[in-house]
Amino acid sequence: MNVNRRDILQLLAFSGLGLSTIRPNIVFAKNEIDVIIPPRLKPGDVIGLVSPAGITRSKDKLKIIEEILAALDLKLHVDEHAMDRWGYLAGKDEIRAEAINQMYRDSEVNAILTFIGGWGCARLLPYLDYEMIQKHPKIIMGFSDVTALLLAIYAKTGMVTFHGPSGRSGWNTFTVDYVNRLLFDAEAITYKNPDDIGDNLTQVEDRIQTITPGKAQGRLVGGNLTVLTALIGSKYLPEWKGHILFIEDVGEGIYRIDRMMTQLKLAGVLNQIAGFVFGRCTDCDADSGYSSFTLGEVLEDHIKPLGIPAFRGSMIGHIKNKFTIPLGVEAVIDADRGTIQLLESAVR
């Protein structure tokens, strides 16, 4: 029997010696899912654009996306129902879901980009053809409400999905650099926040705050906190054991963040993960008054007792400069340095 160093460490942990006797604050995860790596992007590839959630009224937004993709030497194929409207949704659920199914079936479409988030992706999950999707691996990317699609497709098929810019996101130099390195160059990226101090004597923006020091290894999974917690109890979430959970949110009060973190705890999610990364909570209440908790206090209250490496402040979320993070890829987080290191390429 071939036994590698990782196997030995796990045996020692189960024998009662503990990992800390060899290398403190390191958690090793088990790989219990057969992960499917989608093909990388190439110049000239066709990107299928779908509207799985909220409506888009402006055709000029569509033109901007076309110009963005052209600048990346990519071609745009727009779903014929992308501009539909049904209440606050971009068409009926079955039609929006079928648009995604069709993009996976279409051999001329190389990857899938979501138009916008909002709300509505979770309504599509029962209508997706996961068996067919599994046979036609492709990049699918978005964030916010699109978290529901990313989690469900990874959970039901094992395919790597991508928490990154949607079509209507800002595609600035920082954001595009990570898209290029991850999806075109197949680089096993080490994500690290910018460290430019500007005119200040020390770094003020984009700071990392360690919750619990140390390193952890596992497959990345996560996305928007509100969307993720809304899926708890469904069959569209992955097995949590040994994963590294990353989350972000926007426009939430601190008590609501506390409520959702409590839900993750009560559902048994937090006691299974190997590591934790909180990105940004944009436009969340930093301090609702003297009697309020701060975001940092809420996160420490829920995460510190777990004893797992954890940090917050990563460039993940509803922000101008954002990382593109693959769900399902093996990585190591360093909570002291605030880095996420991919151990393998997210595309082939």
**pLDDT score for 347:** 98
pLDDT surpassing 60 at residue 171: yes
Where does 207-266 show beta strands of DSSP type E? 209-212, 215-224, 244-250
Domain ranges of the chain: 5-31+192-342, 46-184
β-bridge partners, 142: 163
pTM: 0.90
**pLDDT score for 58:** 79
Q: Are 19 and 12 in contact (CB under 8 A)?
A: yes
**pLDDT score for 21:** 31
Q: Rounded to whole angstroms, how far apart are CA atoms 13 and 20? A: 9
pLDDT surpassing 50 at residue 142: yes
**pLDDT score for 32:** 59
Q: Rounded to whole angstroms, how far apart are CA atoms 47 and 52? A: 15
What is the token pair recorded at 26? 């390191």
- Mean pLDDT for the stretch of residues 315-323: 97
- Domain 5-31+192-342 fold is Glucose Oxidase; domain 1 (3.50.30)
Q: Are 260 and 254 in contact (CB under 8 A)?
A: no
pLDDT tens-place string over residues 21-74: 333 344 443 445 689 999 999 999 999 999 999 998 778 889 999 999 999 999
CATH of domain 46-184: 3.40.50.10740
The residues annotated as belonging to the active site are 144, 248, 318
